Amino acid sequence: MKNDESNNIISFAEFELDTVRRRLTRDGEIVALHARAFDLLSFLIQNNGRIVTKDEIFGAVWDRQFVEESNLVVQISNLRKALGETKNAPRFLVTIPGKGYKFAAETNENLLMIETHSFAELTIEHEEEIIPQRLNLRGKSRQNWLSFAVIAVLVILSVGAIGYFGFLHSDGKENFASAWTNQSRRMSPRQLTAHGRINVAAISPDGTHFAYTNEGSETSGLWISGINGSQILEVLPPAPVEFYGLTFSPNGSQIYYAVRDEKNLSGALFRVSAFGGIPEKILDKIQCPITFSPDGKQFAFVRGNSKQTAIIVANAEGNAEEKEIAVRPKEFGFNENGAAWSPDGTKIAVSGKDEKSGDNVVLLTDVKTGNAEKFGEKAWNAVRRIEWIPDGSGLLLNVIEKEFWQERQIWMLEYPSGQARKITNDLNRYGRETVSISNDGTKLLAVSAQTISNIFVSNSDTLTQFNKITNNAVGKNDGQWNSLTFAPDGRIVFMRFFDKSDTIWTMNADGTNAKQLTPSGFLDRKPVVTNDGQFVYFYSNRGGNFNVWRINLDGSDLKQITNDGGILPSVTPDSRWIFYSRDSHIWKISADGGTPFQMTKKPSRGIEVSPDGKMFATFYRPIKEDKLKLAVFPIDGGEPLYLFDSAADLNYEKLRWSPDGASLVYAFYNSTAWKQNLSGGAPEKFLEFPGENINAFAWSSDGKQFAVAHGQELRDVVLFTVEK
């Protein structure tokens, strides 16, 4: 048995146990394990070669729970199946009659101490082996199964309603908000998945199941599982789509989800049976979660365009007829992160910008009048999903606080006082469009995340032997947001999350002599260095909104270049002009600032000037509903010189010219970078890091070295509970 150099992987025979992503693989293929089985295997490996008693196992794996001994027998049996052994012919799990169990594998004195996850839930569990499966319901068996499912849903809803009102009226002064803000009532979070690639999730109204999307390198699928891990069902197979949120129907029988793909470039809303089936398209032009009215007859969502945003209400059945109830200009618009309909049906909560301060706030919109008013005592850097507590005593939301930039936590705004209270406060980030609470108010679902991004350097002729020049620190995010480039003197200029901020740094190409270039306190991203080595241009929110800024390579003379917005700068070889993205178009401005000039007439984003300064490349949509193209324009604008089909159509900010200017290399937020030759042909795979994201890459000024930032964002579903 051995640990690899990252201290995250424990190898034995043909197996690898990843203690960070919490998964077991066999010859590279994932082996399905329930979270409890994973914890049991981790504990046994931690005590490799030693007999551990049943009491020790129960104390470590089922901490503070009352469980039957049969649970351990079931989990040992599941582990034997996963490891391909039997009780009579064990390879790793040895039963010591009357004493306990022993994990027997090659010993390593430097064996990593494995973190185990204890679930503080006083239940008696009868767990079975977890095997992902597709539901195949046909003919009579399908009817019987669905009949059983309907009855089960009705029973569960009845039990849930009894629990809800019992909890609500158990104390005349008690409400859900006070329960969640009482730390002694909250139990430790319980991890429900071990995939590491969860995008969004939602809990069923009765709190017994949860739905989630599991991302691959270029695909996403929809799954549903029991809260106790009793089943995992594939609702939708993996496909090249991007999910924007999940919402259960009020009775829990259907899942509503918004997606974007090649057939729905502006997004669309679908619904599908929670037990699997054929999806039904409901509405077009939706890229956010929906929220149901208390009676379930309507749902609401936010839709935006280049000029305004609006809260839309639609019928839940029939033709889904739409009605605008509130409209705001784009500058102070509603955010498309998910609205929340109040339990009394009178208000819809949504995040947006305050018209006076420009801060992100929670807005309560009157359903009848459309009047939107700021709610709560705090303003935020960002607000994502919002969820009303079922009794209306408060709102839950995942936010980035004003003094932070990436450490997203879950907060509560008590209603009607608006007092803000922090629910989570740890090293995880709780992001994406996921804050979901059960109808009885006792279960809160979220997606926790930790990020690791490192920078590697290789000889550009081979790109096979990369030297890691940064460490494995969680949360530093080195090079993210396409924030990696070389200076002419060979130093690397990159972004690092430091002191609660995205900051620009320099270091030698071997990782030594790292120095902070821009002061902390803001989001500074995508540095680009002039050919004379004098200036570094980047985009930053230092003035409140994102604009292009400049600083000397020694860190002096900080100067704002654009005043009306701008991101993703690229500088011409003669250092005279800065090209950048703004309002879905490409613009250019003098290197010292001044009047900007629009360079593209159709939607475009991402910009790189060619090494000879005669062209610029961007991702371009010549026809509104057409697939995204990779376009090359003459440096003075006009019509494209080249148009190529891109390898994907999701996120598109990482784009570089090859040093000889004969090709373009680009990457999305996944594991693959693609190369497109100007001479034509289909895009070719240029780089691939399976299971990781490519965050940035760049060639040195002389073209001899190549740097790439790649890593993982480990995202899994977690469950918070409060005692009744």
The answer on 467 and 358 residing in a single domain is no
- For 106-143, the pLDDT digits (tens) are 634 333 333 333 323 322 233 333 333 333 323 333 34
| Residue-level pLDDT at 230 | 65
CA–centroid distance for 231 within its chain: 24
Rounded to 5 degrees, what angle do the CA atoms 444, 452, 408 make?
A: 35
Q: Is residue 455 part of a domain?
A: no
% of the chain surpassing 90 pLDDT: 52
Q: Is 711 among the domain residues?
A: no
Question: Are 125 and 224 within one domain?
Answer: no
Least confident of 29-33, 114-118, 226-230, 475-479: 114-118
- Boundary-marking domain end, from 72, 107, 131: 131
346 lies in the same domain as 466: no
83 and 198 share one domain: no
Alpha-carbon distance of 499 to 519, in angstroms, equals 10
Indicate whether 407 pLDDT > 50.
yes
Share of the chain above pLDDT 70, in %: 85
Looking at 99, 131, 163, the residue that finishes a domain is 131
Q: How far apart are CA 530 and CA 549, in angstroms?
A: 13
- Sheet containing 484-486: give its strands across: 484-486, 492-498, 501-507, 515-516
**Residue 447, pLDDT above cutoff 50:** yes
The pLDDT assigned to 43 comes to 87
Confidence of residue 21 (pLDDT cuts 50, 70, 90): low
Residue 169 confidence class, pLDDT cut points 50, 70, 90: very low
Task: Take residue 671 and report the two structure tokens written for it.
Answer: 């594991």
User: What tens digit of pLDDT does each residue of 668-697 get?
Assistant: 867 889 999 999 999 999 999 987 889 999
In a domain, 114, yes or no: yes
What CATH number does residue 529 fall under?
A: 2.120.10.30
The total number of structural domains that make up the chain: 3
The average confidence (pLDDT) of the chain is 84
Q: According to the model, what pLDDT value does residue 354 have?
A: 87
Whether the ω angle into residue 416 lies within 30 degrees of 0, i.e. cis, is yes
Other beta carbons within 10 Å of 121: 16
> Do 276 and 158 belong together in one domain?
yes
**Same structural domain, 418 and 500:** no
Per-residue confidence (pLDDT) for residue 492, from 0 to 100: 98
478 and 426, same domain (yes or no): no
Q: What is the CATH number of the domain that holds 15?
A: 1.10.10.10
Residue 338 lies in a domain: yes
Q: Which whole number is the average pLDDT over 225-253?
A: 89
The residue written with tokens 């470039």 in the block is 265
pLDDT of residue 66: 53
Task: State pLDDT tens for residues 139-165.
Answer: 333 344 444 444 444 444 444 444 444
Are residues 402 and 266 located together in one domain of the fold? Answer: yes
Q: What is the pLDDT of residue 25?
A: 83
Residue 456 domain-assigned? no
Arithmetic mean of pLDDT, 6-21: 76
CA distance 391 to 398: 19
Are 245 and 433 a contacting pair, CB within 8 Å? yes
Residues 222/226/232/233 CA torsion (nearest 10 deg): -50
Would residue 46 count as lying in a domain?
yes
Looking only at the bridges linking them, the beta strands covering 515-516 and 501-507 are antiparallel
As a whole number of angstroms, the distance between CA 125 and CA 34 comes to 13
Please state which of the ranges 53-67, 186-200, 534-548, 696-710 shows the lowest mean pLDDT.
Answer: 53-67
In this predicted structure, the answer to whether residue 197 has a pLDDT above a threshold of 80 is yes
The verdict on residue 709 lying in a domain is no
> With bands split at pLDDT 50, 70 and 90, how would you rate the model's confidence at 86?
confident
Within this chain, do residues 94 and 230 fall inside the same structural domain, yes or no?
A: no
For residues 95 and 159, membership in a common domain is answered with no
pLDDT of residue 174: 66
Q: Are residues 586 and 474 in the same domain?
A: yes
pLDDT tens, position by position, 314-330: 999 767 789 999 999 98
Q: Is residue 710 part of a domain?
A: no
Containing structural domain, residue 420: 139-450+716-721
Domain limit, last residue, from 107, 131, 155: 131
Considering 189-203, 216-230, 279-293, 345-359, the range whose residues carry the highest mean pLDDT is 279-293
76-87: average pLDDT: 82
pTM of the shown model: 0.63
- Alpha carbon 667 to chain centroid, angstroms: 17
Same domain, 475 and 559: yes
Lowest mean pLDDT among 240-249, 318-327, 503-512: 318-327
